[in-house]
Amino acid sequence: MGDDVNSLRYDAAKKRVYVGYGDEKTGAIAVVDAATNKRVDEFKLGAHPESFQLETSAQTYM
């Protein structure tokens, strides 16, 4: 995921960790399975996400 990893969120119901990372030009939120520690999905963004929140309705706000 690179050097600039921050903004971690944990979804206990799905057992997923959401990790924001990137730089000024590219970024993403990776979705990691907490049981296996493997990346299972990724949301590409135009820049590093400084913050994001998880919503109980399965929405992600950046």
How is residue 8 written in tokens? Answer: 């971690």
Q: What whole-number distance in Å separates Cα of residue 33 and Cα of residue 29?
A: 13
Predicted pLDDT at 24? 81
Question: What per-residue confidence (pLDDT) applies to 60?
Answer: 61
Q: pTM of the prediction?
A: 0.81
Whether 40 and 16 have beta carbons less than 8 Å apart is answered as yes
HEC string for the chain: CCCCEEEEEEECCCCEEEEEEECCCCEEEEEEECCCCEEEEEEEECCCCCCCEECCCCCEEC
Q: Which amino acid is at 35?
A: A
> Could you list the mean pLDDT of each consecutive 10-residue stretch along the chain, which spans 62 residues?
81 93 89 97 89 74 57
